[in-house]
Structure 1
Amino acid sequence: MTAGVYDSANVVREPIELLRDMLEEQFVTHTNRLTELTVYGRLPGHGGYDPDALRVLAAAAREGIADTAQALRRMSEGSYGVCEGCHNDIPLDRLRALPHVPYCVSCQRRQPR
């Protein structure tokens, strides 16, 4: 194996490992947030939160958990970073900004909101 091929493989692998670390960290953050909100929801006075606000925040935390878990699943299956719409690679800068995204910008715009 030549040094150039070895270096190239490390360059490709390195961003994926960093993205995996980011996703795992986000998963923990969303999970901790959902746990915290669940506890607040059971407290008298809801920990100072309005019950409706707690529901919205908990739903957002659940969505974050689901999005992150799906990205980690795609990563383990080898399809991470490939757009689910057009099947082209998602640009690395987009993945760095939003590591859980399953679509490139063009395909994301076509998704229902």
Structure 2
Amino acid sequence: MSTDLRDATGQQRITRLRDTLTTEFEAQTARLTELTADTGDPGEAHTQAAMIAATRQSLAQISDALRRIAEGGYGICERCTAPIPTERLEVLPHARFCVPCQQKQG
């Protein structure tokens, strides 16, 4: 059941999602700090580099979602401008596209 994110219930959901995103941002930032510490093991360099890249991508997605919340564009598909169902946002809080547009995106 989708909820209009502009009504009171929707605003409560946005607040919860913003809190979730903020907590995840803090966790990913701590993870990145740990990953960038020198392990001294050259055999793990490739794996570590991949994990650093994935963590940086996650941080960028979270930051972008927090920016959209602050600017009032959160929950709107960037491709078709339709509302993204709140169920999708609860599963994937940094979603930029509705499911049909995400499938087209590739």
Q: What does 1:1-40 align with in structure 2 at a 5 Å threshold?
A: 9-39=7-37
Equivalence for 2:86: 92
**Equivalent of 1:52, from 40, 46, 51?**
46
Q: TM-score, normalised by structure 1?
A: 0.83
Look up the equivalent residue of 1:109 and give its one-letter code: Q
Q: What does 1:50-89 align with in structure 2 at a 5 Å threshold?
A: 50-89=44-83
- How many corresponding residue pairs? 101
SS in 2 for 1:110: helix
> Per chain length, whose mean CA-contact separation is higher, i.e. which structure has more relative contact order (CA < 8 Å, sep 6+)?
2
Listed as ranges, the gaps of 5+ residues in structure 2 are 1-5
Equivalence for 2:103: 109
Q: Provide the rounded CA distance (Å) in 2 between the counterparts of 1:10 and 1:111.
A: 32
Q: Provide the rounded CA distance (Å) in 2 between the counterparts of 1:9 and 1:27.
A: 26
Which structure: greater helix fraction?
1
Q: Provide the rounded CA distance (Å) in 1 between the counterparts of 2:16 and 2:96.
A: 17
| Greater Rg over alpha carbons, structure | 1
Identity of aligned residues (%): 40
Distance 1:9 1:104, change over 3 A: closer
Deviation at 1:45, TM superposition (A): 2.2
SS in 1 for 2:41: helix
Q: Provide the rounded CA distance (Å) in 2 between the counterparts of 1:14 and 1:79.
A: 16
